[in-house]
Amino acid sequence: MQHSGRLVLVLAIVASTAACKAKPKETPATALPPGATAVASPTADIRTEPQPTTTSSGSLDLKTAPLSFAPIAKKADPSVVTIYTVGDDHGGGGGPFTRRRQGKVAKGLGTGFIVQKDGVVITNNHVVEGADEIIVQLSDERRFPGKIAGRDPRTDIAVVKIENAPKELPSIQLGDSDKLDVGDWVVAIGNPFGLSHTVSAGIVSGKGRGLQDVPLDPAGYYNFIQTDASINPGNSGGPLLNLRGEVVAMNTAIRGGGAQGIGFAIPINMVKQLMPTLLTEGHITRSALGIRIRDVRELEDGDKKKLGIGDEKGAVIESLEANGPADKARLEPGDVIIAFDGQQIDRSTRLQWLASTAGVGKTVTIRVMRTGKPFDIKVTLGELKEPKKSPFRPKLPQPPQDDDDDEGTSPFGGR
């Protein structure tokens, strides 16, 4: 997929170019908008994301690997499930391992992990999207029907509920992805190419990977964790664990083009934030500022000078939705957003995430730099329209072929 060199993230759906304010002026207005409050320092009372700590001698506090990852795998493996999906067979299509029974075709398989003892499973949306039937296989090979409890195409997160689940299923502990550092050891468990419960280990190779690193959807929410733990088709939806056996991310994508050792996982904190809403409402209703933005760090020095931007981190407004929340607050193209409700904005994707999850109708405080002058302004968020289908379209492996294609009541046997 080809993308332009500039990163433009959309925080609100704009109906047409005519509905949007004109392209950014070379210099924004110098006057503060009505209701704005000037602040003495751009960084006053702003919370930053946690950074790796160092010892008193200035050297990093190194974390050693265990002699074996086996205890981590054994503890987590009972909570890891295989997810099979089934759809209508309209004739044709499918690969050499496609299995058909009673008008149904096995579409593919993925991985998931049990997060509640009553049978709540987390997986990728692209694993279960479009499935007419879901079959969840436990680590002891028992199979149960599954039902989608909620899904979010934007983040590729889905919640599946195991129907008629046994009591007290083994649930896995969720960790804190914000505490991960580049270089930390991690362990992946999944079903690559149908090889069930495969364990691989590696390190966190990078954090905060976005659109330019994982070009799946130009309007997605990106904060992927990169790992060199072996991830392949079939690992989708499986857990990425820290050395305490806690899930710190969900394996989701791999880099194409013959790349090796480059996998991407969704931070578990993102999953934890959305999971309660997906369980109760089945979907995510997102809020929006109604602006188009790009990272300040992507601007040329000449453009920064024209806009009065120095060394600030943040997101520069390129255009505004006409009569949208930011437009009503009298923000202007060229304004730089450096904080959202007291949280520092160091990249565009962080602003996109915070603005979309704050809540429709909520009034938030935005800190803005305009020609070098910082100020706070209150903005009441609107609603963001969502796509009907997932932007993620990776190929899923198909279940292994069976000689008894005409027997059994399930497309996967289960007699």
Active site residues: 126, 156, 236
173: which 2 tokens?
Answer: 């502990």
What does the alpha-carbon distance between residue 31 and residue 190 come to, in Å, rounded to a whole number? 56
Place of tokens 């409890």: 149
Q: How far apart are CA 48 and CA 389, in angstroms?
A: 34
Residues near 396 by Cβ (< 8 Å), separated by ≥ 6? 85, 107, 108, 109, 110, 126, 127, 233, 234, 236
Q: Which among 191, 192, 193, 201 is positioned nearest to 228, based on CA atoms? A: 201
Task: For residue 248, give the nearest of 236, 257, 239 by alpha carbon.
Answer: 239
Q: What is the DSSP string of 180-236?
A: --TT-EEEEEE-GGG-TTEEEEEEEEEEEE-TTTS-S-TT----EEEE-S---TT-T
